[in-house]
Amino acid sequence: MSVEITTSVAIKATISFSEGELRALDALTGYGIEPFLDVFYGKLGKAYMQPYEKNLRELFIKINQTVPEAIKRVEAAREKLK
């Protein structure tokens, strides 16, 4: 007889952003991950951010895939209200 035990934990966070915060996120990631990391590491060092670099890259991708569309929707809604 064998027993296999598997444990997993999943965490999901939902965050709401104002239009200004969305635009700030868009601006923050607008130059891409490489320029961001070059400046961050060059000015602040690697000790703090490097352990999270893979996740930061994923975050930049997610922001760049979703935030511009959200901003477009805000602008389209604003145009319809005119």
Helix, strand, coil content of the chain in percent (nearest 5) = 65, 0, 35
Q: What is the dihedral sign for C-alpha 68, 54, 50, 10?
A: positive
Tens of pLDDT along 11-61? Answer: 888 999 999 999 999 999 999 999 999 999 999 999 999 999 999 999 999
Q: What is the pTM of this model?
A: 0.77
